[in-house]
Structure 1
Amino acid sequence: MKKLFLSLGLLAVTVLGLGTMKQQHVAAADWSQPVATLGTSLTEEQKSGTLSTLNSAAGTSNPQELTVNGDTLVKYLNPSGSNFTSNSGVWSSALVQKTDNGGINVKIVPYNGDNNITTITADQYRNAALTAGVANANLYITSAVKIDGSGALAGVYAAFAQNGQTLNSSQINAAQQEVNTLSGITQANQDKSGYSDKQLNNAVAGMKEQMASQSNNGSQTLSQNQIGNIVDSQLTQNNIKNIITNDQRTQIINLLVKIQKSGALDSSDFKNQASKLANSIQSSAKDIFNKISNKLDTQENRNFLQKIWDSIVSFFQAIVDWVASLFH
């Protein structure tokens, strides 16, 4: 029975660490060089330090440079509800390295030994990038000052546009709502026993994969009730069903409805990228997910699953018996 739970996605399949990120083949075409997106508010010393920090983490030396300013924030973040202006400061920066495989990987890199990204976690960046339409990319994020990290995400979107891969604006808006929703839920539950940001983001990645599968890659529209069932299933599998409040559950459902409407599920690679993301999150926190697997593998749950299986068998046996009765 434990194997059954592992098959539900609670076993890490592939370890995607920094070493793996460096070994992946960089994509050709417009992405012949990685892109460093640098906040416009950085001093010359901070800019130099930011470039050095990002290049060292990514193993690069001569990336393209792209300046992210207030107008960039307005363009990419304001449609989802932010209130940036052309004069808004930007410090958080990113290095975007497009690859041919390996999914979406994010490393938040300390600046002079300090993690200055205060709000957005690495897994939140990854889920947002997936929703926005990013596929197979290594993203390195840093900041010279304490900041939430929104500028780096806007920079990622701008980097793709600069390389001829403009992302869908509806998907970017959904991605920004996702960052706000997931960061808010994590902040509200961070002190609760049995909760971690990795469990939440793994659950959301699983929800996306399940939605893509049930909708046949977006060719069918899932009802809000169907999405609610998917949410409940993934929250249960990640052992946070009893921690997430009804209001937070509603926020997640509304988020997934928006993601569906954005067209994100229409991509033939969305399901595959979501699966890679979930596997990678599980691989990065084996202790957490092994404990979840052990908790779920109880006699009570085994009995519950057996009842479900018995019901399925009985249902199909009834159909067989009915068909057989027609010929008597």
Structure 2
Amino acid sequence: MKKNIQPLLGSLAILAAITFTFFNFKTQAVHAETWQQPTVTLGTTLTTDQKQGTINTLTKDLDNSNYQTITVNGDTLVKYLNPSGSNFTSNSSVWSSAAVEKTSSGSGINVHILPYNGKNNITTITADQYKNAALTAGVSDANIYVTSAVPIDGSGALAGVYAAFDQNGSDLSQKQINAAQNEMSTLSDINQDNKGKDGYSDAQLNNAIAGAKSDMAKAGHNISVGQITTIVNNQLEKNNIQNIINNNQKQQIINILVQIRDSGALNSSNFKQQAQKLSNNIVDSAKGVFNKLNTQENRNFIQKIWDAIVNFFQNLF
């Protein structure tokens, strides 16, 4: 009798394993990205004319002439933004809108803030801040276009980006979205505090953050606060803003990077590649700023001494 039971138990175990694998595969398939065409997110408060004007603005640069639309309303803001500390309600107005176009693997995150009738109405969030927030939230390989028919901070557009990825099966982590929102708020405040200071730009700050994320990803998800602090110091110096960002602001940056670590973002094998790609993207889009960092007057003291020594011996021989 025991001899007959053992093969039966073995068969049941195999059947159970096959069944688990099948259902697990189906569960994963449900969350697989299903992008067929770009997604345009429209603020619910737009008038009929503003809605058409927004569509015209957002779709003019899309590679695909076909697109789907979704409406971003107060409930969308509550769902994605309130868990990070915002205070939106179902009745909140939404004007800022976005178009999201998925691109080939490894192309990175590109953000373009488009003028509406010749005017940039996104008053607070910069293109580089959108890029960094999208990266932290788990977005990858996408062209994102943002505009607004009226002057507004641009939060609605970012909520629309999150909704567009969820609509297309990405299943973004709310922990990462929370970290992204706090990051964007922190960087926006730091940028406003330092705006107009000689030797400072939003591009340098955001490049330092993107570089820090890349360095953190190389170190792994068990990276310590001390290691993050060292990375921040190195990146601020690399971007020549170590004497502009004060200690309080630096601590805020460390805090948001710790939150990004704790959100699970570093567990993604794609995060490091996207972070490095984002850093390259920021540098390429602000070459005038970063070229100045390589000029003689902005080199560090040791480099200047070494150059002097090299020049001395070259002249001597």
> Residues 112 and 146 of structure 2 are in contact (CA less than 8 Å); yes or no, is this contact kept in structure 1?
yes
| Aligned: 1:75 with 2:79 | yes
1:152 paired to 2:157: yes
Tell me, what secondary structure is at the counterpart of 1:140?
Answer: strand
Aligned twin of 1:43:
47
| Corresponding residue for residue 259 of structure 1 | 260
1:86 equivalent in alignment to 2:87? no
Pairing 1:106–2:111 present: yes
Q: Secondary structure at the match of 1:41?
A: coil
Q: What's 1:319 paired with?
A: none
TM superposition shift of 1:74: 0.4
Q: Which residue of 2 aligns with 1:222?
A: 223
The residue that corresponds to 1:189 in the other structure is 194
Tell me the distance in 1 between the aligned counterparts of 2:210 and 2:130. Answer: 12
Q: TM-score, normalised by structure 1?
A: 0.81
The whole-number CA distance in structure 2 between the counterparts of 1:192 and 1:297 is 16
Shift of 1:191: 1.6
8 A contact 2:217–2:266 mirrored in 1: yes
Off by >4 Å, runs of 4+ in structure 1: 303-306
CA 1:47–1:177: 2 relative to 1, 3 Å: same
Tell whether the 8 Å contact from 1:37 to 1:155 is kept in structure 2 after alignment.
yes
Query: Offset of 1:296 from its aligned partner?
Result: 7.6
Residue range with higher mean Cα deviation, 286-295 or 183-192: 286-295
CA distance in 2, matches of 1:298, 1:106: 31
Equivalent in the alignment of 1:210: 215
What secondary structure, in the 3-state scheme, does the structure 2 residue paired with 1:293 have?
Answer: coil
Number of the residue aligned with 2:170: 165
Query: In the alignment, what sits opposite 1:139?
Result: 144
Q: 1:232 to 1:295 in 2, by over 3 A?
A: farther
The root-mean-square deviation of aligned C-alpha atoms, in Å, is 1.8
Report the CA distance between 1:62 and its aligned residue: 2.8
For residue 288 of structure 1, report the CA deviation from its aligned partner.
Answer: 1.2
* Contact 1:57–1:109 (CA under 8 A) maintained in structure 2: no
Q: TM-score, normalised by structure 2?
A: 0.84
User: What secondary structure sits across from 2:77 in the alignment?
Assistant: helix
Maintained 8 Å contact 1:128/1:175: yes
- Over 3 Å counting, the alpha-carbon distance change for 1:247 and 1:305 in structure 2 is farther
CA distance in 2, matches of 1:276, 1:296: 28
Secondary structure (helix, strand or coil) at the match of 1:95 reads strand
Decide whether aligned partners of structure 1 residues 298 and 175 sit closer, same or farther in structure 2, where only a CA change above 3 A counts: closer
- Counterpart contact for 1:34–1:96, Cα < 8 Å: yes
Give, as a single letter, the amino acid of the residue that structure 2 aligns with 1:264.
A
For the residues of structure 2 that align with 1:64 and 1:262, how far apart are their CA atoms? 30
In structure 2, what is the Cα distance between the partners aligned to 1:297 and 1:86?
50
Change (3 A) 1:59 1:111: farther
Stretches of structure 2 that go unaligned for 5 or more consecutive residues are 1-31, 308-317
1:312-327 map, 5 Å: none
- What is the SS of the residue equivalent to 1:66? strand
2:22 corresponds to: none
